[in-house]
Amino acid sequence: MSIEIHCPKCAKLIKAPDNAGGKRGKCPYCKESVYIPLPPDEDEAIGIAPLDESDEERERRLRRESIEYIASVGHAKDVPPEGAAPASSGAVSPLPPGEVVDVGAEVESYLIAMRDSKLDEADRAVRRLKSAGSRAKDHVEGQLLDEMPAPVEGIPPPLVKGFLKTLSERLS
């Protein structure tokens, strides 16, 4: 068995005998002095477990289901019972009775306002989203879980992610 290394100068593959391990030698191609590491012990090698395709598929399925669930929650009609006041926190004004926030549309309007540097419009979208309560937070977190967030015209995906992270923090 031989020790295989790449020359640090010319990057060519060098095969050295096991007994050369721990010593220096010359690259046969460029004559650069090269350190030859000790051969790996067979006992010390750490095996890598093979990928379990069923686990990978289960994880992909669970991720899809989570995203679909969060998206469906974002479109749910959470109307408080008659006579009950809508949930509000701090400076968020309650919605008129019977009005439901379209979380997906409000998130998109926030993203577009941020894209256009219209911070007052973004603040209004945040206030409307806060009035939707946990539905808005769940919707934004679901989009953050997605490797590729939903495209928004004129906003690169990494910037969408950044805007969503900021929105998530503001909804907390």
User: Average pLDDT in the 64-80 region?
Assistant: 63
| CB-CB contact of 8 with 34 (8 Å) | yes
The angle at the Cα of 71, spanning 68 to 77, to the nearest 5 degrees, equals 130
Provide DSSP, 87-111: P--TTPPPPPTT----HHHHHHHHH
Would you tell me how many other CB atoms lie within 10 Å of the CB of residue 5?
17
Between 50 and 110, the more confident residue is 110
Provide mean pLDDT across the span 85-98: 48
| Residue 74 in this model has a pLDDT that exceeds 80 | no
pLDDT at 98 over 60: no
Angle at CA 73, nearest 5°, toward 85 and 142?
120
Residue 80 has pLDDT above 60, yes or no: no
What are the residue ranges of helices labelled H in the chain?
Answer: 53-74, 103-115, 119-131, 134-145, 157-171
Distance of alpha carbon 58 from alpha carbon 95, whole angstroms: 40
Q: What is the pLDDT of residue 73?
A: 66
**Tens-place pLDDT, residues 16-61:** 888 888 899 999 999 999 999 887 665 555 667 777 788 888 888 8
> What is the average pLDDT across 100-116?
87
Classify 39 in phi/psi space as left (phi over 0), alpha (psi -120 to 50) or beta. beta
Whole-model pTM: value is 0.45
Average pLDDT over all residues of the chain: 79
Could you tell me the pLDDT band of residue 83, with boundaries at 50, 70 and 90? very low
Give the separation between CA 133 and CA 171, rounded to whole angstroms. Answer: 8
d(CA 87, CA 82): 13
Share of the chain above pLDDT 70, in %: 77
- Per-residue model confidence (pLDDT) at position 97: 54
Higher per-residue pLDDT: 76 or 56 = 56
Domain ranges of the chain: 2-36, 56-74+87-171
